[in-house]
């Protein structure tokens, strides 16, 4: 799922302002994308890189790629980041309910699901990873 999300970010860069808007980018990011500023591209590409690396770690943990450095630590950290990002929906909903929109809700749900998947997968392969 991280890899899919990574390539979705590349599609957003290619799709331009309409894609930034559809996927919930701030009005400023949409405006900058419309002005062909490099800022949205650099930020979005940075997110692509992070998500792509996280996808590589997931595949490595599943044994589909060579073992990457600090595999166990990375999988735990990735799991935590996704889960925390997903759970942030609730304090935001309480503190700044006007900030909540469909993108925040859906992305939080997806992050929570993906984080749980990483955590469950990491737990399932923890012993195997330790032996390698």
Q: Which value, to the nearest 10 degrees, does the dihedral of the CA atoms of residues 25, 49, 4, 92 take?
A: -40
pLDDT at 132 over 80: no
Band (pLDDT 50/70/90 cuts) for residue 100 is confident
Whether the pTM exceeds 0.85: the reply is yes
Q: Where are the domains of the chain?
A: 2-131
**Mean pLDDT over each residue of the chain, to the nearest integer:** 93
Mean pLDDT calculated for residue range 74-86: 97
Mean pLDDT calculated for residue range 72-93: 95
Residue 60's nearest CA partner among 78, 84, 80 is 78
pLDDT at 126 over 90: no
pLDDT at 101: 84
- Please write the tens of the pLDDT for every residue from 16-48: 999 999 998 889 999 999 999 999 999 999 999
Q: Name the 3-class secondary structure at 102.
A: helix
């Amino acid at each position: 799922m991280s890899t899919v999300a990574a390539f979705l970010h590349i599609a957003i860069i290619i799709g331009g302002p309409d894609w930034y808007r559809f996927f919930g980018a701030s009005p400023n990011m949409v405006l900058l994308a419309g002005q062909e500023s490099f800022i949205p591209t650099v930020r979005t590409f940075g997110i692509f890189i992070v998500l792509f690396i996280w996808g590589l770690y997931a595949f490595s943990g599943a044994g589909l790629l060579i073992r990457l450095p600090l595999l166990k630590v990375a999988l735990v950290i990735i799991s935590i980041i996704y889960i925390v990002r997903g759970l942030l929906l609730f304090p935001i909903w309480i503190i700044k309910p006007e900030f909540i929109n469909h993108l925040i809700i859906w992305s939080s749900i997806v992050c929570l699901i993906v984080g749980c998947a990483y955590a469950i997968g990491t737990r399932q392969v923890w012993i195997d990873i330790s032996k390698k």
